Structure 1
């Protein structure tokens, strides 16, 4: 049976630190909007306190989580054991987007090893932690991280990454502007 907690306990932290992948769920308020579920790899998640986590968000072909958080803040982060004893652990909270070149970025980025292709940090204040059995989750073996994003970002360089963010990460698939999109819009307005 599942158990509900108000914060991350030491045994939860130990479990989270062993996981090689986690999943992020978010949704817009509009019932016609798309629910988003994103897998996250690499060592990008940090537990900042029993009620706060953050992850370094890497460039992707969409930016749904960012748009949803900007609208309503709701986020769920899920970890599941693919090796060892079964367990699923979910973190429920309110998230916010932290963009590069902001004072909060400078404070928060110190917790991470910066990865080429990082576009923002997602910080989450938790209101619930829930564990469940995971008895039906299959075993999978970890064989390593992909280096595809790093190689792609090296080819793109800074200007290419910015152009990609402007084109692919400025709004959600439902047309909601993201904080990245707003930053580009504001800088265009400042030039005019």
Structure 2
């Protein structure tokens, strides 16, 4: 039986914390809708109506661009092991960049990952569940982010990561600014 509520129940929080990955979906008022898988130890439930998650550098920065245009965000969690369940968390988010005053406060909630690029604070306005029986049961073989992505950003160093951002993370696929730097980079 599906549930619809405006906050996370304790069982939802436990379910979220047990998941090895989640998905984030955002969209600007125009252009493409984006959905991305996220992993690592990168999400914290702060309360029954607030989630914070850390975004690592990647080949694009759609979520940041979308949130600057329209704060709507949906997080989806799927049970890949155990009882079937899909949990969706809807709300409005804001993006925090490393240059922002509240970066240190929020970044301190997470491990110190080279390549950390954005933090999102999601204020929850709706939570829904669905059966999830269409999701296959799977086991995690290896966490590639820990063995491939994080060491790669470590090797780049801070200057290399910022150069990567300048090349890959300043604009969305639709040309929207991501705000990764205080001023647009040409």
Write the mapping of 1:30-179 to structure 2, written as runs, cut at 5 A.
Answer: 30=30, 33-146=31-144, 147-179=147-179
Structure 1 position 155, deviation (Å): 2.2
CA RMSD of aligned residues (A): 1.4
Moved beyond 3 Å, runs of 4+: none
SS at match of 1:170: coil
**TM-score, normalization: structure 1?**
0.92
Structure 1 position 101, deviation (Å): 2.9
**Greater helix proportion:** 1
Structure 1: tracts of 5 or more residues without a match: none
Structure 1 residue aligned with 2:13:
13
User: What is the rounded CA distance, in whole Å, between the counterparts of 2:102 and 2:165 in structure 1?
Assistant: 20
Structure 2 residue aligned with 1:3:
3
User: What is the rounded CA distance, in whole Å, between the counterparts of 1:112 and 1:151 in structure 2?
Assistant: 17
Which shifted more, 42-51 or 152-161?
A: 152-161
Structure 2: tracts of 5 or more residues without a match: none
SS at match of 2:102: helix
**TM-score, normalization: structure 2?**
0.95
Structure 1 position 24, deviation (Å): 0.3
Is 1:97–1:179's contact at 8 Å kept on the other side of the alignment?
A: no
Question: Which digits, 9 at most, give the CA deviation of each residue in 1:30-78, with x for residues without a partner?
Answer: 1xx1110100011100001110101110000000011000001010000
SS at match of 2:139: coil
Q: How many residues align?
A: 184
